[in-house]
Amino acid sequence: MQKYRTEQIRNVVLLSHSNAGKTSLCENMLFQAKAISRLGRVDDGTTTSDYEPEETKRKISINLSLLPFEWNNTKVNLIDSPGYPDFVGEVKASLRAADGAVVIVSAASGVEVGTELVWKYADDGELPRIVFVNKIDRENADFFKTVEQLSAMFGRKCVPIQLPIGAESKFEGVVDLLSKAAKTPQSLADKIASFREKLVESVAETDDNLITKYLEGTELTEDEVRGALRSATIKGKLVPILAGSALQSKGIVELIESILHYLPSPRDTGKTTAQNPQTQQDEEIEPDESAPLAALVFKTTADPYVGKLTYLRVYSGSINSDSSVWNATKKRAERIGQLYMIRGKSQEATPQITAGDIGAVAKLAETGTSDTLCSKDHPLVLAPIEFPLPTLSVSVQPKTKADLDKLGSSLARLTEEDPTLAVRKDMDTAETVLSGMGEAQFEVAAEKMKRKFGVEVKIETPKIPYRETITVATKSEYKHKKQTGGHGQYGHVMFELEPLPRGSGTEFSSKVVGGSVPKNYIPAVEKGVNEGFKEGGLAGYPLTDIRVKLYDGSYHAVDSSEISFKIAASYALKKGVSQGQPVLLEPIMNVHITIPDNFTGDVMSDLNNKRARVMGMSPGGGVNHIDAQVPLAEMLKYATDLRAITQGRGTYTMEYSHYEQVPAHIAQKIIAESKKETEKA
| Contact residues for ligand GDP, defined by CB under 6 A | 16, 18-24, 42-43, 60-61, 83, 134-135, 137-138, 245-247
Q: How far is the CB of 182 from ligand GDP (least distance, A)?
A: 21
Q: How far is the CB of 451 from ligand GDP (least distance, A)?
A: 21
Element containing residue 509 per DSSP (H, E): strand 506-510
CA distance 68 to 368: 23
Beta partners for residue 106, in sequence order: 110, 134
Buried b (16+ CB within 10 A) or exposed e, 663-679: eeeebeebbeebeeeee
Residue type, 47: T
Taking the least distance from each CB to ligand GDP, the nearer of 114 and 650 is 114
Taking the least distance from each CB to ligand GDP, the nearer of 244 and 576 is 244
Q: How far is the CB of 28 from ligand GDP (least distance, A)?
A: 8
Taking the least distance from each CB to ligand GDP, the nearer of 127 and 626 is 127
Q: How far is the CB of 109 from ligand GDP (least distance, A)?
A: 10
Residue 478 makes CB contacts below 8 A (sequence gap 6+) with: 492, 493, 568, 569, 571, 572, 575
Single out the residue of 500, 671, 473, 468 nearest to residue 579, CA to CA: 473
Single out the residue of 212, 192, 191, 211 nearest to residue 203, CA to CA: 211
| Percentage helix, strand, coil for the chain under 3-state DSSP, each rounded to 5 | 35, 35, 35
Single out the residue of 277, 272, 263, 279 nearest to residue 295, CA to CA: 272
Taking the least distance from each CB to ligand GDP, the nearer of 21 and 110 is 21
Q: How far is the CB of 241 from ligand GDP (least distance, A)?
A: 16
DSSP 8-class letter at 31: H
CA distance 522 to 576: 18
Taking the least distance from each CB to ligand GDP, the nearer of 135 and 308 is 135
Taking the least distance from each CB to ligand GDP, the nearer of 25 and 517 is 25
Locate the DSSP E strands across 222-268. Answer: 239-243
Taking the least distance from each CB to ligand GDP, the nearer of 103 and 381 is 103
CA distance 237 to 432: 49
Residue type, 102: V
Residue 648 makes CB contacts below 8 A (sequence gap 6+) with: 85, 113, 114, 117
Q: How far is the CB of 666 from ligand GDP (least distance, A)?
A: 42
Locate the DSSP E strands across 168-220. Answer: 173-176
Taking the least distance from each CB to ligand GDP, the nearer of 91 and 297 is 91
Q: How far is the CB of 2 from ligand GDP (least distance, A)?
A: 29
Q: How far is the CB of 71 from ligand GDP (least distance, A)?
A: 20
Taking the least distance from each CB to ligand GDP, the nearer of 20 and 457 is 20
Q: How far is the CB of 88 from ligand GDP (least distance, A)?
A: 14
- Grouping H, G, I as helix, E, B as strand and the rest as coil, residue 461 is coil
